[in-house]
Structure 1
Amino acid sequence: MARWLPWAVGAVTALFALGPALGRGYVLRYDMVFVPDLSLPTVLRGADGFPRAMPSDAVVAALSTVVPGDLVQSLALAAVFLVGAAGAARLMADSLGSSRAGALVAASAAGLAYVWNPFVAERLLLGQWAMLLGYAGLPWAVAATARRARPVVYSAGVLRALVPAAVGGFSSVLLTALTAGPVALWGRGGMRRAGLFAGALAVVSLPWLVPSLAAGAAGAATDPAGVEAFAPRADTPLGTVGSLFLLGGVWNANAVPTHHGDPGLVALRLALCLAAVAGWLWWLYRERPAFGAGLSVAAVLGFAVALLGVTAPGREFTAALIDLWPGFGPLRDGQLYVAPLALLQALGLGAVVHWLTLPSARSEADGGAGGAGAAVGLGAGAGVAALPVLLSFGLWWGAQGALAPVEYPDAWREAQAAVAADERPGAVLVLPWNAYRGIDWSGEPGVVLDPATKLFDRRTIWNDDLVVGTPDGGVVVVEGEDARAREVARVLDPDPVTGMPERLDGAELAALGVRHVAVSAPVDNRFWSGVDGFSVVVEGADMTLLEVLESPVDAEESDISGLEVTGGLVTVGAIIWSIARSGSSLGSQRTGSERGPGARKEIP
């Protein structure tokens, strides 16, 4: 039972957190866009700019060749809770080194708190499932990097633990480096472990690292305006700093769960977080887990990065760094870096439960004497373990309906099939010229990245600029990275409100390599008046597909470079080797404790 309990906790948590999102249909929410029959070759070819969807979209496309795309989405969402809860629970249980009832309750509390908190809720409502998959893998990475073993065994264990980060892509790898890097560095032999860990990170990064270097050579850049747009914001009465400590503070107000800012709930969550940090410090002093000091450093560093966006000087400093080198661009989204603190608080809450259940340990050591005290301790521990769910009920059952699946209209599937049947090359231009917008048929009202940008089996051209509202009522426009999209925008000159151009010129679009125009919104018939050079292929209430009659210029799709293929094969091969070398699970080793004169045994 002890072996399977962490996975059971994750499975139950996934069921109650996702609810209807696990049913048939597609959940569309901000960046979370799954489509039927996602094209793997198109994903691999990519587009201009940083390959943010690699390799997550490639994995989804590969799996979609075997099972329907909506089931792939359900599996991906469930994996966040299953892998995350099991990882935190096993990290706690292995560190306690006990199979007694109290230790199991403590491990369950850690697993539950790690995946049921404002950070997970807000990022899920932003649709950042791939990043959350990497977040779910952090406990496994911490356990693997804290282990002391021979280089080959150590590397195999780390590579195996980095599978979620490898699928999640750039943000996931970055969070893993921040969280597990200090753990690898800490203690005797830290430089050797850190070197092996860095090598493993480099290997799993190849699928996005190689094309990103090519994109950099093509002139892709990071807009410093994103610092203001993505800065943390207060979503509780405690202000921005307090919201970050409570693992909230996301930049998008529409991603804040229901009742998240209620004063009563905020006060209780603050008490819970303070107790979790106190529990962590107590456990750190008492047990000295091998990863304890490193994770503490990672949590402090991550919180410091998050605080950069809180003040004007901090934002100016971050913008200056991005101006100096675009590689500092990930620092824009500061709230992302409270992830190590989320793991620390989850384990700290497990330590609180461990402390509450110590009477049960004494009872077992005394042969069962003092059973009443043991029962009270276990009951109190179980009550504390349930508090994260009770205090963050905005995540219940698909975020209270915000994550409801829908089916794509028939006209969308017809347009997808028509483009796939056209053997002539050329890109698909997606209109309206607004990346994120509301879609009438997408169920719960909200904003989503236009699914037409991923629907077709060829290159799509769409507006990748991001418009973000500011607290003072203004807007910040973060310029996109696709150079070809900027060229098309100059030709279209679209209305900034509707995203539709006054007219379409088939010859101009053909000169830019456009073969089809997909209008994924209701169209006013006056829009077509005086438009020449197109034929209507599909016309529906929510999708109109036009074909450019003139042959596109330079419309050949770019080939996948041999270097990119080699990078992907190296990553896949390394992961297969690591699994074959050290077992099929993500990680099963115990991290142990660094016991010294000040360390104490479990039962005083």
Structure 2
Amino acid sequence: MAPRHARALARLGPAALGLLLGALALGPALGPGYVLRYDMVFVPDPPLVLGSGGSGGFPRAVPSDQVVALLSLALPADVVQKALLLGIFVLAASGAAALLPGDRPAARLAAAAFYAWNAYLAQRLLLGQWALLLGFAGLPWAVRAAARGPTTRRGAVRLAAALVPAAVGGFQATLVTAITVLPVAALSGRPRALRAGVPVTALLVAVLSLPWLVPALGSRAVTDPAGVEAFAARADGPFGTLGSLLSLGGVWNAEAEVPGQGSWSVAAVRLVLSLVALAGFAVFARAAVAGERRFARGPAVAAVVGLGVAAVVGLGVAGLGAFAPGVLKGLIGWWPGFGPFRDGQLFIAPLVLCQALGFAYAADRLGRIGFAAAAVPVLVLPTFALGAFGRLAAVDYPDEWRRVQAVVNADPAPGALVSLPWGAHRAFAWNGGRVILDPATKMFARPVLWDDTLMVERRAGGVIRVAAEAPRARRIGALIRDGRGPLTAAFVREEVRFVLIAQKNENEFSSRFPGVRPILRAGELLLLRL
């Protein structure tokens, strides 16, 4: 390959490969309409609601929902969603490649393919956690900026820009990124820079976290320690929890698994690939420390060694809920702020990046045939393609949802909306029966009260009940579960203006709102105004 063509491939190839992999992974989800699955709920004409919407719970969708609402002022919300989803793959692939020398095109393509096509990304996408994945996609860029040193003005600006995807993603994305970039920043530059790198990086992370940190500290949300067992990493194949984590899987929700990934053959190939990648990373790290100019250049030592430290820490956090749940329960009981560590598997993100670099190093050693390595991640996890064989698809909202949205948002009177039946998730026939967070939580320019209690099936049978976080939702839930007497006066005291009921549940609730006439009855929805 001519040097000019090799340079162009190394520079532009990873982004193009990321776009191709994104199109292959999303498949039918790129059609007209919205991709709705678990936490991934985009709605038409999303309102710009500051903070957590007044629900009183932890601000999990801050500031990601606000960013989507702003972008939707210029483009239809379904187009915004598809651009963000494809952008995750492009940003991830190009970022992983950017950590490698520009004259190693095979290695850069291998890193791009591995980081943009793996079980971690697939499982989190099937959970609908697009905001977390935005931070995951920006992680290599943040590592690159931190390794170059954040202590100069230019370095600080560069790092702040690289942290923007995580900041948009919110608290989960920011925590994962912080755990990763702090060790990298600590090892960047000369000894004086080493002392200053961590405070500067921590300050930038803290400032960019203010959109979600302020409402989180001001909320009265509580964290149920029962969530430790519910959200702990789990085995998704025959090699146990540790084998699943090393294979970059192990998410707590079995419905987030890629079809067939737990079979012996697929699980074995995934584990072998991960072990090869880890071995490659170990050799890569040794080469970087030794100053091997062929592959490790510039800030490579800080990036590689810092990443290794972050991967060990992340794997430790991932194993905490699975192997030492009592420790995490004790921490949460002492301070609810430890709650985000319940879902420990999400903290193996730096391990994914380590394996991507290790795989790239191995591909580089293969010479010209190393270009074929870019196909290996897809061949190892082929059922991630085409929306995980149909688990992701694009649909449109029935007209009644838009009608209810227009009526509620046009009412100038203050007050919250309560969505019934009292539960967090719905499964609609028009969405192919896929489970999603209640769309009412995203559609209205007023606080929406809903049941954020979570019911999680145990691995050995039975159900774990994770109590609601928001005090106001707990009060509303207690009134509804009481099952006796009218709710109208109690809801008015709780400053409730609207009640949205699924019509199939109308008989269950009609007697509990005496004197209140429906203002809209459309399709599957019934709207009451108190």
1:506 to 2:488 alignment:
yes
User: Do structure 1's residue 83 and structure 2's residue 102 form an aligned pair?
Assistant: no
How many residue pairs end up in the alignment?
508
* Contact map agreement 2:487 2:512 (CA 8 A) in 1: no
Q: 1:18 aligns with which of 19, 26, 49?
A: 26
Equivalent residue for 1:206?
A: 210
Contact 2:149 2:185 in 1 (8 A): no
Provide the rounded CA distance (Å) in 2 between the counterparts of 1:125 and 1:412: 24
Gaps of 5+ in 2: 1-7, 290-299
Counterpart pick for 1:64 among 41, 48, 72 = 72
2:335 counterpart of 1:346: no
The offset of 1:439, in angstroms, is 1.9
Q: 1:123 Cα deviation (Å)?
A: 0.5
Matched with 1:410 is 399
Map of 2:293 onto structure 1: none
Contact 1:276 1:346 survives alignment (8 Å): yes
Is residue 8 from structure 1 mapped to residue 53 from structure 2 by the alignment? no
Structure-2 separation of matches of 1:298 and 1:87 = 17
Contact 1:241 1:310 in 2 (8 A): no
Q: Which residue of 2 aligns with 1:393?
A: 382
Query: Where in structure 2 are the equivalents of 1:260-271 lying within 5 Å?
Result: 260-271=261-272
Change (3 A) 1:406 1:469: same
CA spacing shift, 1:265–1:421, aligned 2, 3 Å? same
Q: 1:40–1:136: structure 2 CA closer, same or farther, 3 Å change rule?
A: same
Select 1:478's aligned residue among 463, 466, 469.
466
SS in 2 for 1:260: coil
| Cα distance between partner residues in 2 of 1:26 and 1:296 | 38
* Correspondence for 2:335 among 325, 344, 353: 325
SS of the aligned residue for 1:12 comes to: helix
List, as ranges, runs of 4+ consecutive aligned residues in structure 1 with deviation greater than 4 Å.
42-45, 501-504, 524-527
CA distance, structure 2, for counterparts of residue 524 and residue 329 of structure 1? 36
Deviation by residue 1:414-445 (Cα, 9 ceiling, x = unmatched):
111111222222211100101023222212x3
Structure 2 residue 128 is matched with structure 1 residue 127: yes
Contact 2:41 2:437 in 1 (8 A): yes
Q: Secondary structure at the match of 2:417?
A: strand
Q: Which residue of the partner structure matches residue 220 of structure 1?
A: 221
After superposition, where does 1:343-382 map in structure 2 within 5 Å?
343-357=353-367, 378-379=368-369, 381-382=370-371
Q: Which amino acid aligns with 1:344?
A: C
Q: Give yes or no for contact 1:106–1:353 (8 Å, CA) kept in 2.
A: yes
Structure 1 residue 50, shift from structure 2 partner? 1.8
CA distance in 2, matches of 1:193, 1:341: 22
**More moved, 338-347 vs 515-524:** 515-524
> Structure 2: how far apart are the matches of 1:186 and 1:446?
46
The 1:520–1:79 alpha-carbon spacing in structure 2 relative to 1, beyond 3 Å, is farther
CA distance in 1, matches of 2:50, 2:484: 30
One-letter code aligned to 2:481: D
Map of 1:238 onto structure 2: 239
Structure 1 residues 180-205: Cα deviation after superposition (integer angstroms, max 9, x where no partner):
11111125322211111111101111
Partner of 1:491: 479
- Corresponding position: 1:295 with 2:307: yes
**Greater CA radius of gyration, 1 or 2?**
1
SS at match of 2:456: strand
Instruction: Describe the shift of the 1:472–1:503 C-alpha distance in structure 2 as closer, same or farther (beyond 3 A).
Output: farther
The alignment status of 1:433 with 2:422, answered yes or no, reads: yes
User: TM-score normalized by structure 1?
Assistant: 0.81
Which residue number in structure 2 is paired with residue 176 of structure 1?
177
Gaps of 5+ in 1: 358-377, 495-500, 549-604
Percentage identity across paired residues of the two chains: 48
Per-residue deviation at 1:447? 1.6
| Aligned counterpart, 1:251 | 252
Separation in structure 1 between the aligned mates of residue 348 and residue 64 of structure 2, nearest angstrom:
22
Describe the shift of the 1:134–1:59 C-alpha distance in structure 2 as closer, same or farther (beyond 3 A). same
2: CA distance between counterparts of 1:515 and 1:329? 32
| CA-to-aligned-CA distance 1:293-317 (integer Å, 9 cap, x gap) | 1111111111111111222xx0011
User: How far, CA to CA, are the matches of 1:451 and 1:193 in structure 2?
Assistant: 43
Moved more, 46-55 or 412-421: 46-55
Taking the aligned partners of 1:503 and 1:111, their CA distance within structure 2 comes to: 60
Task: State the match for 1:364 in structure 2.
Answer: none
State the match for 1:442 in structure 2.
431
| Whole-angstrom CA distance in 2 between matches of 1:135 and 1:384 | 22
Cα distance between partner residues in 2 of 1:339 and 1:181: 14
Per-residue CA deviation, residues 317-370 of structure 1 (Å, 9 max, x unaligned), is 11001111112112111111111100000111100111111xxxxxxxxxxxxx
AA matched with 1:438: A
> What are the Cα deviations for residues 476-533 of structure 1, in whole angstroms up to 9, with x where unaligned?
1111221111111122226xxxxxx576532222121111111135235475357422
Q: Matches of 2:315 and 2:512 in 1, distance apart?
A: 57
Q: CA RMSD in A?
A: 1.7
Correspondent of 1:305 among 294, 297, 317: 317
Q: 1:399 to 1:504 in 2, by over 3 A?
A: farther
Match of 1:497 in 2: none
Alignment of 1:498-577 (within 5 A): 504-520=486-502, 522-525=504-507, 527-529=509-511, 531-548=513-530
8 Å CA contact 2:288–2:304 kept in 1: the answer is no
Q: What amino acid is aligned across from residue 337 of structure 1 in structure 2?
A: F
- In structure 2, the residue matched to 1:465 is 453
Aligned match of 2:165:
164
Corresponding residue for 1:594?
A: none
Determine the C-alpha separation between the residues in 2 that align with 1:521 and 1:135.
40
Q: Give SS of 1:429's match.
A: strand
**Structure 2 match to 1:557:** none
Match among 443, 467, 488 for residue 455 of structure 1: 443
State the match for 2:61 in structure 1: 53
Distance 1:386 1:503, change over 3 A: farther
What do the CA deviations read for 1:433-476 (whole angstroms, capped 9, x no partner)? 01023222212x33211111211121111111111111121111
Alignment-derived partner of residue 573 in structure 1: none
Give me the whole-angstrom Cα distance separating, in 1, the residues matched to 2:267 and 2:381.
Answer: 10
Question: 2-side partners of 1:310 and 1:530: how far apart?
Answer: 43
Question: What secondary structure is seen at the aligned counterpart in 1 of 2:500?
Answer: strand
Tell whether the 8 Å contact from 1:166 to 1:204 is kept in structure 2 after alignment: yes
Contact 1:119 1:247 in 2 (8 A): yes
1:41 partner SS? coil
Deviations, residues 368-394 of structure 1 (Å, cap 9, x unaligned):
xxxxxxxxxx23x13322111011112
